[in-house]
Structure 1
Amino acid sequence: MKEDNLKNNIEVWEDIVNIKDLIMSLIICTMTTFLAYISAPNEPPKPLFFGLTGAIIGFVICAVFIKPKRIFIETKEEN
C-alpha cells in the first residue's frame, strides 16, 4: 500500500478507514435518512419507519460504492 494512502487512513473499531470515504458515507447516510424522514406522512410511527428505511438505503449505497481498505496479515501459528 502506498505511503500517501496510509496517511489518509485512521483506525475505527479495529478496522482501517479512509477519512474521505468516512465523511462521504456519513453525508450520504445522513441525507438519505433526512430526506426519507421529511417525506413521511405526519402520522406516528411513519416518520420513524421512513427514516429507518432511508438509513438502510444510505447504507446500501455506501456499501456498493465505497470499497473496504482492510489490510490482511496472514500468520502461521503452531500448536
Structure 2
Amino acid sequence: MVSPRYNDLGVITMAIAREYVKALIDRLSDEQVQALWVILNSMAWPTEKVSPEEAADIEESFAEIDAGKGIKAEDVWRELGV
C-alpha cells in the first residue's frame, strides 16, 4: 500500500494511508484508543537510556518479584482508594 520511493507516488500513497489510519481510529472504542495511544507514544518518542544504577534497581525489583516479595495489586488499589 505504501511505496517508499517518491517517483512511485509514495508521497500521495502515504497521505492516503495516514487518512485511512485516522478513519480507523475514529471507529475504535475509548479503551482501544487508550491502548493504541500507549503503543503509538512508545513508537513516536525515542526511549531514554537507562543508567547503570537504574538498571540495577530494575533487576533488583524483578528479583524481588520472582522471589514472591512483590506488592499485591489489591494492596495498591486499597492504598489508592480504587
TM-score by length of structure 1 reads: 0.32
Larger Rg: 2
Which structure has more relative contact order (CA 8 Å, sep 6+)? It is 1
Q: From the two aligned structures, give the one with the greater strand fraction.
A: 1
